[in-house]
Amino acid sequence: MPRRPRIVPSLLTLVACLALVAGCASAGAGSSASGGSPIPTAPVAPAATGSPLASAAPTPSGPASTALATVSATPSPATTPGAAAAALAGRAWATATLTDASTGTPFTIASLAGRTVFVEAMAIWCTNCRAQQGRFTEALTRLDPSSVAYVVLTVDPSEGAAALAKYKADRGFSGTYAVTGKAVSTALAADFGANVLNPPSVPLILITPSGEIRFTTGGESVDQIIKLARG
């Protein structure tokens, strides 16, 4: 009886080889995905210097931050020391010698330059003035005395230093009180008009550390006084 060829083992061998090839291909793909070389990507061109992208988000330690710090540390010409003194130098009411009614100490308004200076024209009989001085007294308790000065000048020629000092002490007001005298009153009116000598209108002169001089009437609230004093 003739023998049949052995086909089964040959088929099994072929199947085994195919399985081996498939396994190697799978292992290679996994190795490339997890630990092999990354898929190449197109390089991103750096932003050109001065472009919106380059300047939009500088690092905190980069040149842009250094430049900003330097600019903010440099004082503006408007706030250079001496600017206020220069603005007051030619004004007779600022350079005239006044006398503190409470202490007898001589001073000038110009000598206070560099601070925020408030100058109020008033009279002892003026109730509006009294209310304003009460608000200033409260505001001054919340301000640095080295950066603000409050000068109260009676423009009533019938009121003297002794009466003014008693008025201030009786009411516990803060500030430096003085009598203007005719020359200072005339100089004030020349610069600010006749209303500066009208106490019920609550005249107020503000001199900023940068040398700006403002004149207002009507009185200020405590919060507004503090805001003006702090610039």
Query: Greater confidence, 28 or 226?
Result: 226
Q: What is the pLDDT of residue 83?
A: 87
Query: Greater confidence, 24 or 186?
Result: 186
- How far apart (Å, rounded) are the C-alpha atoms in residues 208 and 133? 20
**pLDDT tens sequence across 161-218:** 999 999 999 999 999 999 999 999 999 999 999 999 999 999 999 999 999 999 999 9
Q: What is the pLDDT of residue 231?
A: 85
Please state, for a pLDDT cut of 70, what percent of the chain lies above it.
65
Query: Greater confidence, 16 or 132?
Result: 132
CATH of 80-230, one of 1.10.8.60, 3.30.300.30, 3.40.50.1240, 3.40.30.10: 3.40.30.10
Q: Provide the 8-state DSSP code for 115.
A: B
Locate the domains of the chain by residue range: 80-230
* 1 pLDDT above the threshold of 50: no
* 221 pLDDT above the threshold of 80: yes
What's the average model confidence in pLDDT over 144-161? 96
pLDDT bin (cut points 50, 70, 90) of residue 15 is: very low
**pLDDT tens sequence across 26-80:** 444 443 333 343 333 334 333 333 333 233 333 333 333 222 222 222 233 344 5
What's the average model confidence in pLDDT over 123-150? 97
Instruction: Mark residue 202 as left, alpha or beta (left: phi above 0; alpha: psi -120 to 50; beta: remaining).
Output: left
Torsion of CA 184, 205, 197, 132, to 10 degrees: -130
14: Cα separation from own chain's centroid: 86
* 109 pLDDT above the threshold of 70: yes
Query: Greater confidence, 7 or 210?
Result: 210
- Mean confidence (pLDDT) of the chain: 76
Strands 176-179 and 148-154: parallel
Buried b (16+ CB within 10 A) or exposed e, 65-89: eeeeeeeeeeeeeeeeeebbeebbe
pLDDT bin (cut points 50, 70, 90) of residue 138 is: very high
